[in-house]
Amino acid sequence: MPLNDYNRDQLITEARKLTETFRRFQDANLKLDLTRGKPSTAQLDLANGMGPLLLEQCFLEDGTDLRNYGGLDGIPEARKLGAAMLGLHANEVIAADNASLTLMYLYVLWAYHFGPLGAGTAWRDEGDVKFIAIVPGYDRHFSVCEEVGIEMVTTPFAEDGPDIDVIEELVSKDSSIKGMWCVPKYSNPTGHVYSSEVVDRIAALGRMAGPNFRVIWDNAYGVHDLRDNPPVLANIMERCRHYGTEDFVVQIASTSKITVAGGGISFLGGSKPNLDTFRKRLSIMTIGPNKLNQQRHVNFLKNFGGLQAHMRRHAEILRPKFAMVQQHLEKGLGGKGLATWSDPQGGYFVAVDVRPELAAEIIRMAGEAGVKLTPAGATFPYHCDPEDRNIRIAPSFPPVEELDLAMQVFVNCVELASVQYRLKEIGG
Amino acid sequence: MPLNDYNRDQLITEARKLTETFRRFQDANLKLDLTRGKPSTAQLDLANGMGPLLLEQCFLEDGTDLRNYGGLDGIPEARKLGAAMLGLHANEVIAADNASLTLMYLYVLWAYHFGPLGAGTAWRDEGDVKFIAIVPGYDRHFSVCEEVGIEMVTTPFAEDGPDIDVIEELVSKDSSIKGMWCVPKYSNPTGHVYSSEVVDRIAALGRMAGPNFRVIWDNAYGVHDLRDNPPVLANIMERCRHYGTEDFVVQIASTSKITVAGGGISFLGGSKPNLDTFRKRLSIMTIGPNKLNQQRHVNFLKNFGGLQAHMRRHAEILRPKFAMVQQHLEKGLGGKGLATWSDPQGGYFVAVDVRPELAAEIIRMAGEAGVKLTPAGATFPYHCDPEDRNIRIAPSFPPVEELDLAMQVFVNCVELASVQYRLKEIGG
């Protein structure tokens, strides 16, 4: 029965029952965590074979000693791997150290201060600078903008990706908008996969945007499918080539959620002018990445086929967890009008939209019952979810049994908070 | 006999002989390189044992899984190692990835745009920003300033470090000077070790400098001694504590020339306010360093004692090379008034000052004879050596036999260029 059909007495009875359950959870002194999209121990174990390099593996065919300085672009085989992940040529990709976040941060910071194409293109020289933030989105993207001093304009999701009509209007009318964050496949946290039409229209945006606009195409979950025959993301660079907007998109990926989260390798891909400018900045900051770590990755994953096979092993571990989240949400909240949620086919998150004004309260309650959730508002710029509705669930890290328990707590908190709110609403 | 005592005929005879030798070198099609301070293969081999980690070594005592995300400050044991290298407490040190250059770049860039102590302290808000560049110095330090937009004011060396009288005067008179690069032990390229008095007076500078001045104390060669009973560098932070100038100095070190040049770990150390501000910026850019690589280092080096023992093995490889450079310089150029040079007790470089207006020419000639030298002017800001005298020799990388040959070429080029110049001078 939908919550709104409950009368006052039924709500009071319901609240009492739910409170009892909530107290039991409290008494159990749980310590569960659904906050960060971290791989689980079992997933990390998949890459235990990656460790050692034989001495002869420390040299490239051309004699390059990977232990020594140099090689700003990363080793050729690592660049190839990144290129396959991003749908680019190897010479369009720089392979760097752990943390694609670092590459994105540097790209935006440098574009702001030094210009995406060098002298005369610095965003800051054009006055106010804005970015489009598709919401809900990835908190660390938004933090980069805040840090650098870029104002964010939010845009909602539509069915098949961001609402591209809204974006087209924003971009064509406001030339102070200099960029946009996109997680095009299994978007964080909603799980959206951008449709081919959306990808195409984003590539075409480059013709209506002001100068030096950059889409940061963070393909963080490009190979993180949960099921066979996964959705296929259109190749944005191909579409950009069609429209002559190759400089308009900068692509990002990493192996953080493929091999080891804290010690993977990352990739930045783009047109030659974009890469040349980025490389010029990078050469001031470093002599080169950790080539040994790149070689470890290449030795272990071999090639893109090997990488995909490895990802199927991740999927086997993650699939039951994502299924369990859906079961709990469906069983506990289905048909009650308490929440809507995504059912992603990959990636690391499930987004739950509860009734307005309840997300913060539910997260607070879950915390009291021993389940840590991502702070309310984290998926919005400036930590401000205007309707206070969105909660991000990250099911990857806890073992299945813990996830089971945590989801029971979560569902209980959603129900209890909603019933209490409804009671107040009808004057109870 | 000093060159200036040669008469015209003697000079012509000498030039003929030297040219013959030069041609022989040219005909030999040499390909030798004395440019970069890279460790040799034999030195890199010293760390071949550093490779693999057992699975149980991927966890800290508190259960932290080093393979996963997190740990912005680096792992405790790595911080301890860095602290020992820098003469600090472990909580005064952040352990990061390969490349101390990256830490220095970020420190300066962030201080310029965001302020060394956050809001209200940004250098750029104070108008023109200058740095003191002690010359000759490290080209990559100077490149950072150029990139960020910081003007450099040069200061010469004295016997026991930089000319501190000049620095005191500059700093007390010009509050737009916001920083200074120092390589306090075995300075690149001269090999100077700052005396205790100089260290003390640098620490005291903090009381006369304008607000938010920072000394970037790049102790790149702090443990890179060639001989037993090496010179001891005074602990600058101790002196700063004495003067109440703890925020005035930021210390840097790395293991790049200890373990593997492209895959070491780096350290940034300083006062709590400095570290807190830096950490705040860093947290936007990365979730944490490659902790596995830090653990590899800790496992391999064990502790500071282990690190020092390891450095003695480096010294055994480097000592004959540095000795060979001195022999060639002494034998080939001694007593002729053609050049002066340093005889460093550690580090990676030998600085040779030839006669004015000859450095670029000698480097060009050596290149023609197959010996690559660091480009003229590289050791000065804006690549401009006002007297065109300084040449940096990096003897670490080539095998001894190659170094032997390269130094013969070098000495020949110095002699030949000097004789030719002298001939012109006296109207020959």
For range B395-407, the mean pLDDT: 96
In angstroms, the CA B349 to CA B344 distance is 8
Spell out which residues of chain A touch residue B147, defining contact as CB-CB under 8 Å. Answer: 281, 284
In angstroms, the CA A405 to CA A65 distance is 51
How many percent of chain A have pLDDT more than 70?
100
For range A92-109, the mean pLDDT: 97
Which residue, chain included where needed, has tokens 């770990």?
B265
pLDDT at res. B303: 96
CA distance B51 to chain A (A): 5
For range A39-47, the mean pLDDT: 91
Residue A350 has pLDDT above 80, yes or no: yes
Spell out which residues of chain B touch residue A55, defining contact as CB-CB under 8 Å. Answer: 48
Closest by Cβ to B290, choosing from A44, A113, A262: A262
Residue A199 has pLDDT above 70, yes or no: yes
A252: three-class secondary structure by DSSP:
strand
Q: Which residue in B has a C-alpha nearest to residue A260's C-alpha?
A: B67
CA distance A98 to chain B (A): 7
pLDDT at res. B210: 81
Spell out which residues of chain B touch residue A67, defining contact as CB-CB under 8 Å. Answer: 44, 47, 260-263
Q: Which of A219, A216, A198 is nearest to A274 (CA)?
A: A216
How many percent of chain B have pLDDT more than 70?
100
pLDDT at res. B428: 55
With bands split at pLDDT 50, 70 and 90, how would you rate the model's confidence at A332?
Answer: very high
In angstroms, the CA B211 to CA B121 distance is 8
In tens, the pLDDT along B1-15 reads 899 999 999 999 999
> Average model confidence (pLDDT) for chain B?
96
pLDDT at res. A428: 56
Residue A404 has pLDDT above 90, yes or no: yes
For range A171-190, the mean pLDDT: 97
Spell out which residues of chain A touch residue B98, defining contact as CB-CB under 8 Å. Answer: 97, 286, 289-290
Which residue, chain included where needed, has tokens 């005291």?
B204
User: Cβ distance B166 to B156 under 8 Å?
Assistant: yes
Residue A280 has pLDDT above 60, yes or no: yes
Spell out which residues of chain A touch residue B55, defining contact as CB-CB under 8 Å. Answer: 48
- Which of A14-23, A25-34, A44-53, A393-402 has the least mean pLDDT? A44-53
Chosen for mutation from A285, A295, A299 (greatest number of chain B CBs closer than 10 Å) is: A285
CA distance B349 to chain A (A): 16
> Average model confidence (pLDDT) for chain A?
96
CA distance B245 to chain A (A): 28
Closest by Cβ to B44, choosing from A44, A65, A262: A65
How many percent of chain A have pLDDT more than 90?
95
Residue A51 has pLDDT above 80, yes or no: no
Q: Which domains does chain B have, with CATH numbers?
A: 3-43+309-425 (3.90.1150.10), 61-303 (3.40.640.10)
Task: Give the count of alpha carbons within 13 A of A143, CB side only.
Answer: 17
Chosen for mutation from A290, A294, A297, A397 (greatest number of chain B CBs closer than 10 Å) is: A290
Residue B49 has pLDDT above 90, yes or no: no
In angstroms, the CA B211 to CA B100 distance is 25
Q: Which residue in A has a C-alpha nearest to residue B289's C-alpha?
A: A262
Spell out which residues of chain B touch residue A41, defining contact as CB-CB under 8 Å. Answer: 65
Cβ <8 Å between B68 and A289: no
Q: Which residue in B has a C-alpha nearest to residue A99's C-alpha?
A: B286
For range B31-40, the mean pLDDT: 91
Closest by Cβ to A101, choosing from B263, B287, B292: B287
Q: How many CB atoms lie within 10 A of CB B312?
A: 11
Residue A279 has pLDDT above 80, yes or no: yes
In angstroms, the CA A48 to CA B417 distance is 59
pLDDT at res. B427: 83
Q: Which residue in A has a C-alpha nearest to residue B36's C-alpha?
A: A69
Cβ <8 Å between A262 and B71: yes
The overall pTM is greater than 0.90: yes
ipTM: 0.96
In tens, the pLDDT along A54-87 reads 899 999 999 999 999 999 999 999 999 999 999 9
Residue A287 has pLDDT above 90, yes or no: yes
Residue B193 has pLDDT above 90, yes or no: yes
Cβ <8 Å between B67 and A261: yes
For range B126-152, the mean pLDDT: 97
User: Cβ distance B370 to B339 under 8 Å?
Assistant: no
Cβ <8 Å between A285 and B256: no
The values of phi and psi at residue B87, to 5°, are 70, 40
| SS3 sequence of A161-211 | EECHHHHHHHHHHCCCEEEEEECCCCCCCCCCCCCHHHHHHHHHHCCCCCC
The values of phi and psi at residue A27, to 5°, are -65, -25
For range A260-285, the mean pLDDT: 97
Residue B25 has pLDDT above 80, yes or no: yes
Q: Across the A/B interface, how many CB contacts are shorter than 8 Å?
A: 124
pLDDT at res. A60: 95
Q: What beta strand segments (E) does B296-376 contain? A: 339-341, 350-354, 371-372
Cβ <8 Å between A52 and B52: yes
With bands split at pLDDT 50, 70 and 90, how would you rate the model's confidence at B270?
Answer: very high
